[in-house]
Each structure stands twice: as C-alpha cells, then as structure tokens.
Amino acid sequence: MAQISLTFPDGNSRDYDAGVTAADVAASISNSLAKKAISATVNGEHFDLQWPISGDAQIAIHTMKDLEQAEELVRHDCAHIMARAVQELWPDVKVTIGPVIKDGWYYDFDREEPFSPEDLALIEKKMKEIINKRDTVTTEIWERDRAVKFYQDNNEPYKVELIESIPGDEPLRMYWHGDWQDLCRGPHLQHTGQVPGDGFKLMSVAGAYWRGDSDRAMLQRIYGVAFTNKEGLKKHLNMLEEAAKRDHRKLGREMDLFHMQEEAPGQVFWHPNGWRIYTLLQDYMRRRQDKGGYVEVNTPQVVNRKLWEKSGHWEKYQENMFIVEVDEDHAREKTVNALKPMNCPCHVQVYNQGLKSYRDLPLRMAEFGSCNRYEPSGALHGIMRVRGFTQDDGHIFCTREQIESETVEYIGFLSSVYKDLGFEEFRVKFSTRPEKRVGSDEIWDQAEEALANATKAAGFEYEINEGEGAFYGPKLEFVLTDAIGRDWQCGTHQVDFFMPERLDATYIGEDGAKHRPVMLHRATLGSFERFIGILIESHAGKLPFWLAPRQVVVASIVTDANDYAQEVVAALRAAGVRAEADVRNEKINYKVREHSLGKVPVILAVGMKEVEDRTVSARRLGSKQSQLVSLDEIVTELTKEACPPDQRG
C-alpha cells in the first residue's frame, strides 16, 4: 500500500498508509489523544476524524480545548440533534437545511402548525435525551441516484431538491446520528454524548421562505445557541440580556432621540435630542479633519447615470441605487439620474477641476456625504441599517510612494478618534487581492506591502481576509469592541487604482509627464446613523457628558425655589453647558426618575436650603447618592466636562 507523510505542528513527520484517518493518526500518537480527539485540520481544511487522508499533508489534531473547531462541531451537531428531536416528536415534519451561524445554528422545518414556546421546551428536552444516549455518529459516501431514491422513499422532497441543485455528478456525503440521517458535508463529532447537554439553548422561531424565494413554501426556522460548556452559554445569555437593555431603538424612545415610520422606510426622523448628538459628533469630526489637513467639499445628491456608468457603479451597483427619472424641458426621452450611493466619483470630479501637480499631493478631501442605498426591508434595523445615511467620507489622492505614509497617518488619526469616543480597543482586518481584479500583480504587490508595513508601523497587528479585497485594490477594516464585548466594523481604508483611471484623474509628475494618482478611500465612523446607534448601545444611553444631548436638569423641590432653579440654569448656559429647568409641580423623586430614564447625566435639585446657601444637590446618573456643591463649583466642574475631548488642554 502506498505511503504518505503527515507533518505535525511541531515540524515532525510520520509515514502512514494512504487512506489513514485522523482518528487512526491520533491513536498512533497516544491513547489519551485518541480519546480526546474531536477533529483535525488537514492542509488547512477542517477534517472529520473518520475521513480518509489520501496524500502528504500538514495535520493538526483537535480536542475540546481548541475552541474554534470545538464550537463549530458542537453547533453543527446540535443542528442535527435538534432535527432528529423534531422528527422523533412529530414524524410528519419535513427537514431542509441547518447551517452553523455565529454563536449557534438554525434549522428550517416544514410543519403545518407553528412551533410554540412550549414546543421549544419539548425539543430541548428530547435533544438532551439524545445526547445522553451517546449514539455513534457515522458517515458514508453515496452515489447521487442512491441518495435521491433514499429521500424519495422517506418522503423528504426538500432533500431531493437539494441534491438536484448540487452541480456535477460527485458522490454525496451522508451522516447518521444514531438511526437518524442527514445529507451533510460535515465534519461532525464522533457520538452525540460529546455535545454538552448544558451548553445549548433554543432561542426563537421565525418564518423563512424555502431557498429565500417568496414564491416558495414558508418554513419555520428554529434558532439555537451552543457553547462547549454551561459557563460559555451563561455568559452569552447574560450578554444578550444586557444587549436588550442597551437596544438603541428602546433607548431612542426613552431619550426621545429619533423615530422611523413606514412612509419612509429605512430613513430616520431625528428629534431635537438626537439631532443634537448628530451635530455634536459632526462638529467634532469636522474639527479633527480640519486639523488633519483635509479640505471639506460638498457634492450633489442627484447625479446623471453617465457618471455612474463611467465609474463602473451602474454596472456593478445599480440594483442598490435609487433611480430618478426627469422629463427635462419636456424632451421625448427622460433623463435618468440616481441618488448617490457613495461619494467617490463626485470627489474625483472636484479633483479634476484644474491641473494638479505632484506638489499638490497628497490631497485629502472630506465630505459629510448624504448617501442613499436600497436595502431589502428585512435587512433594515433601526438606525444601524438604513437606506438614507451620511458618511464621514474622505478620499486621499496621492502617489504610489505615498500610500504607506498616508496609511500610517490615517491609522493614527482613526485611533485617536476612537479613543476620544470611548473605544480603547480595535482590531485591523486586511483584505487582500481577489481572483477577479484590475491592475498588474506588481501594483498589487506594492499596495499590499504598503498597507501591511503601515499597519505594523502604526503599532497594530492585522488579521488576513484572504481574497476579500475589492476588485480595484486591497483594504483595511477597523473593528472596534464595545462595552459588552461586541465587535463592530466601522472604519475602512481602501487603495484604489481603478477609479482614477476610469474617471481620467491625473497629475503632472516631476518628469513633466501626466501620471495617475492613487485614490485612498477612507471612512472613520462610517455611517453617522450607525455609529450613533453603536455609541448609544455601548454606553447604554449614558453618553459622555460632552456628547449628551441633555446635560443638566435643574429640578426645584418646592415652588419657592423655582426662581433660583432658573438662575442656576442661566449660569450653566452662560458657561456653555446644556441645561434646562424642571419647575413642574411634581415631587422631586418623580422628576429624578423621569430624567434618569431619559439618561440625563446630571440632575441638580434645589430647595429652600440650597436657595439660602447658593448651593445645589447634585446627583450623577446611575448614582443613588447626592452631593451638596456650591453653585460656582458646579458651574466650573461641568464647564470642564462639557468641553469636547479635542478642545481640552
């Protein structure tokens, strides 16, 4: 029998018979590893322990300590175990597909009656029974005709359709969990007992069209989450509970920030409090960009299709654009325009006005550009995912030699902005060249090397997103972490050789000849709407004092203190603090509760004692204790806090 060589992570190699399984390899190393092994990585592919290895390979054996692989397997097995539990409880239910998703899985079922919360409890109980049986998981390769007949005989039409949609005539992999069977690529664990019975939970049921087609059957999708132990599950559920409390839509109502309505889907109606946050954030970014050497521009909302055709967006992005047809001067043909979905082609038009020299580069151009993109209604989510939004968009026109230095400069800028806004940590993802791309390998080598060197020079490591760059250049994505550990991809920095070529942007080089500039697309916050949603959720509505729309409420305890309350408000406003009086004939505890719900950072209570002593009783949001402070002292203290971070000494 032919021999193959397997190389382990420590660099050592061993020879085995071709067709050896990862389970055999683990057993050849030690009985202990054979018992603990759950899967393997073979030449970068996640392998089931039962799959044969046919050629020389790099191999790593995984145990439950390898969290990435362990969680994938646990979640995948949970999907199958749940489907088995459903069919054991209701044999007439038809099964479809059940992929692993972030933190868990889902499975779609065809059942006439809707699943109820009580049904989910029954399914969970049955799943734990299956786990306790420790049934063996086995796999076989079947020919397509055999698999089709099997599912036809078992009245599983969705599985038949799935097989028919798989291209080619390659054999199909079948998995059994005990006596229950499913069509699946794998990999899976070796028996049901390896799934932690206290590490999963069924979360919800939703409708889902078969194959995402609204003309097809409406199925029922059950979602679950799973982890390798009960501690992981508990942590996740606590995070979800905390996230629900922080939901920006809920806090938006309580703080009276914005609303949305069906007459303008995906568009935000900003209320005075919300618009205050918006303008404060925009003013901050304008000052930072001005200091960073950016020139601010403003470009049209409605642009003729001819420009979008030149830029390539009409061909590649038209389905996400809002089209505007205008009967110009009653002409026979309507002029076709589009609301701009991004700002970059318009910025090139500004750049192209007048001759540019190499001495003018880099040219950093910024715009708070209002964009409109069609998003399916099902994808809309509060102000986090909208159709109309404004970006802190920027484009840097530079030479190829300046890519690295401009990238270092920008990462420092972005890092400082995030820190000012309360985000101390962020990760960098580096998306490299895709298979379909423009430009030579030499240009891509230069661009990727420049981004990699710049990221390291700025003091950051990066994760590689292989092949995920745009067709016109590589990209950096900046992923920040909020107060409860959630990741948000916000900032981007992208190299573009393509658009300057398409839109004929040039500069005169030192040699007197025309050259193409490189265009660096960059956004720090991204969409203002989305970033404000992130801020609200990360801070649980308790925004930094300088950014809070309502900073101080001065509440009178008795009617005789009303005039003094107004005097305190006037003193604070004169010092630049946003203050308002609450002199309603209500009890002070009622006023405190109401304004605390509205997330007002500071409540100053004033009664007759405070009037006589010219003091205030100050309470900070989240504190149950009040502090007696002189009027002059509180004005000085809050004036300092109200100063934006970029303007502090």
* Model pLDDT for residues 586-628, shown as the tens digit of each residue: 999 999 999 999 999 999 999 999 999 999 999 999 898 999 9
Q: Any known ligand binding at 521?
A: yes
| pLDDT of amino acid 1 | 65
Whole-number pLDDT of residue 174? 95
Q: Give the count of beta carbons closer than 10 Å to the beta carbon of residue 406.
A: 23
Of the residues 181, 220, 391, 402, only one is catalytic, namely 391
What is the reported pLDDT for 332? 66
Is residue 525 within 8 Å of 491, Cβ to Cβ? yes
331 backbone dihedrals φ, ψ, rounded to 5°: -70, 160
Of 126, 201, 395, 433, the active-site residue reads 395
Q: CA 345, CA 312: separation in Å to the nearest integer?
A: 10
What's the rounded Cα separation, in Å, for the pair 487 and 479? 6
**Are 243 and 381 in contact, with CB atoms under 8 Å apart?**
no
Give yes or no for a contact between 606 and 557, defined as CB atoms under 8 angstroms apart. Answer: yes
Respond yes or no: is residue 391 known to be catalytic: yes
Q: Give the span between the Cα atoms of 572 and 566, in whole angstroms.
A: 10
To the query of whether residue 643 is one of the catalytic residues in this protein, the response is: no
Sign of the CA dihedral running 164, 467, 471, 409: positive
Options 393, 482, 496, 582, the catalytic residue? 393
Written as six digits, the tokens of 475 are 């990209």
- Which is catalytic among the residues 356, 475, 522, 578? 475
**Residues 639, 641, 646: CA angle, nearest 5 degrees:** 105
- Has 393 been annotated as catalytic? yes
Alpha helices (H) along 292-402: 305-311, 313-317, 344-351
What is the chain's alpha carbon radius of gyration, rounded to the nearest angstrom? 30
pLDDT number for residue 137: 96
d(CA 22, CA 50): 7
Write the pLDDT tens digit of every residue in 496-515: 988 999 999 999 999 999 99
Closest CA to 300 of 248, 253, 337, 261: 337
373 annotated active-site: yes
State the catalytic residue, choosing from 201, 493, 521, 619. Answer: 521
Whole-number Cα distances in Å, 62 to 25, 48, 52, 454, 456: 12, 10, 16, 35, 31
Where do we find the tokens 């229950």?
A: 180
Question: Does 76 qualify as catalytic in the annotation?
Answer: no
The partner residues of 379 in beta bridges, in order of sequence, read: none
Number of H helices, E strands in the chain: 20, 35
Task: Please indicate whether residue 521 is annotated as part of the active site.
Answer: yes
Q: Between the CA atoms of 174, 3, 42 and 197, what dihedral angle is there, to the nearest 10 degrees?
A: 50
pLDDT at 330: 64
The rounded average pLDDT for each run of 10 residues, N- to C-terminus, in the chain (649 residues) is 90 93 95 95 95 94 96 97 97 94 95 94 97 96 92 94 84 93 94 96 94 89 97 94 93 96 95 97 97 97 92 86 81 83 95 96 96 89 94 95 94 95 91 85 88 91 90 89 86 91 95 95 95 94 96 97 97 97 96 95 97 96 93 97 93
- How many CB atoms neighbour CB 120 within 10 A? 19
Active-site pick, 184, 344, 398, 490: 344
Q: How far, in Å, CA of 545 to CA of 602, rounded? A: 9
Concatenating the DSSP letter of every residue in 552-580 gives EEEEESSGGGHHHHHHHHHHHHHTT--EE
Look at residue 255 and give its three-state secondary structure. coil
Q: Does 490 show up as a binding residue in the annotation?
A: no
DSSP letters spanning 133-161: HTPBEEEEEE-HHHHHHHHHHTT-HHHHH
